[in-house]
């Protein structure tokens, strides 16, 4: 397979994912989106890194305008879909970069594939913290039900996924379980490749008080236990705007883990 620029659909299981590959001979970087976000969020980071890198982006199941619906939106499929996209583009080794939900996917994939991960960058995600309890589960389900009319209106734009509100709520609840210290801590401890965090300072949509800062504080113990993991930058923007405002810090972390000049 040549490394020419390509955009198309990659079949996987019972669905197909929209994939864009800039091609070229540069170091491959695969970008993993936020839970309900699209590959377009990475455009600033990609522009900052430039054409000397090979950029692979895709929309997860039922996300964006074209990626198909599926019977399975579990976190495990999101990790294995990384393999499907890389295999379809004939990429053996890559730097994996994820934001928010995608950061959790990146950490899991890097930990499972030390021989294939050139490095990992986690942006505002993959922080081990017990934020989910029974009350939070109910709060999440109620919030998504309230958003049902708005999501239906926005769905044709690709800005909201082609999932039911119940499916979206369950994905968010599952993430809470994955984020628990008892679950996420061992995943991070197992990472043997260079890994960097880029964290924000402001709060995220839906967070309360200093909740977000308490979650970020969990990374101190992570970096103390695993010397492969470092905090590359703490930037001024918040969780939701970090890829738009602080893409340069993300690009720097990518260069760092890949061993490229700044």
Tokens for 157, please give them: 């734009």
Residue range 166-177: average pLDDT?
96
In the predicted structure, residue 139 carries a pLDDT above the cut 90: yes
In the predicted structure, residue 212 carries a pLDDT above the cut 90: no
DSSP 220-234: HHHHHH-TTEEEEEE
Mean pLDDT, the chain, integer: 94
Q: Which residues contact 224 (CB under 8 A, 6 or more apart)?
A: none
Question: What residues form DSSP beta bridges with 94?
Answer: 117
**What pLDDT, on a 0 to 100 scale, did the predictor assign at position 36?**
92
- 227 versus 156: the higher-pLDDT residue is 227
In the 8-state DSSP scheme, what is residue 204? P
**What pLDDT, on a 0 to 100 scale, did the predictor assign at position 209?**
64
Q: Which residues contact 136 (CB under 8 A, 6 or more apart)?
A: 176
Could you report the per-residue pLDDT of 109-124, keeping only the tens digit for each?
999 999 999 999 999 9
In the predicted structure, residue 204 carries a pLDDT above the cut 70: no
What is the percentage of the chain residues whose pLDDT exceeds 70?
95
In the predicted structure, residue 155 carries a pLDDT above the cut 80: no
Could you report the per-residue pLDDT of 218-228, keeping only the tens digit for each?
999 999 999 99
Question: What residues form DSSP beta bridges with 117?
Answer: 94
Residue whose C-alpha is closest to residue 118's, from 142, 101, 85, 95: 95
Lowest mean pLDDT among 26-35, 94-103, 153-162, 163-172: 153-162
108 phi/psi in degrees, rounded to 5: -60, -45
**What pLDDT, on a 0 to 100 scale, did the predictor assign at position 1?**
44
Could you report the per-residue pLDDT of 25-82, keeping only the tens digit for each?
999 999 999 999 999 999 999 999 999 999 999 999 999 999 999 999 999 999 999 9
**What pLDDT, on a 0 to 100 scale, did the predictor assign at position 262?**
57
* Orientation of helix 75-88 relative to helix 165-179, angle to 10°: 90
């Amino acid at each position: 397979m040549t490394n020419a620029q390509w955009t198309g659909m990659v079949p996987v299981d019972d669905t197909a994912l929209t994939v864009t590959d800039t091609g070229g001979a540069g170091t491959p970087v695969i970008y993993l989106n936020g839970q309900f976000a699209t590959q377009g969020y990475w455009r600033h980071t990609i522009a900052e890194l430039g054409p000397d890198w090979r950029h692979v982006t895709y929309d997860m199941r039922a996300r964006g305008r074209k990626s198909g619906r599926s019977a399975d939106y579990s976190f495990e499929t999101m990790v294995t879909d990384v393999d499907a996209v890389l295999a379809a583009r004939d990429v053996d080794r890559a730097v994996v970069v994820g934001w928010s939900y995608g950061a959790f996917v990146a950490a899991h994939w890097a930990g499972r594939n030390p021989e294939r991960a050139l490095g990992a960058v986690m942006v505002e995600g993959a922080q081990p913290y017990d934020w989910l309890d029974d009350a939070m589960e109910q709060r999440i389900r109620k919030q998504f039900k309230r958003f049902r009319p708005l999501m239906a209106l926005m769905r044709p734009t690709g800005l909201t996924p082609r999932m039911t509100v119940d499916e979206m709520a369950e994905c968010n609840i599952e993430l809470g379980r994955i984020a628990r210290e008892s679950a996420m801590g061992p995943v991070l401890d197992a990472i043997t490749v260079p890994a960097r965090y880029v964290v924000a300072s402001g709060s995220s949509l839906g967070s309360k008080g200093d909740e977000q800062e308490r979650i970020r504080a969990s990374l101190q113990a992570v970096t103390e236990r695993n010397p492969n993991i470092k905090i590359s930058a703490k930037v001024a923007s918040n969780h939701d705007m970090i890829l738009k405002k602080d893409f340069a810090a993300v690009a720097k972390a990518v260069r760092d883990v890949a061993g490229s000049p700044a």
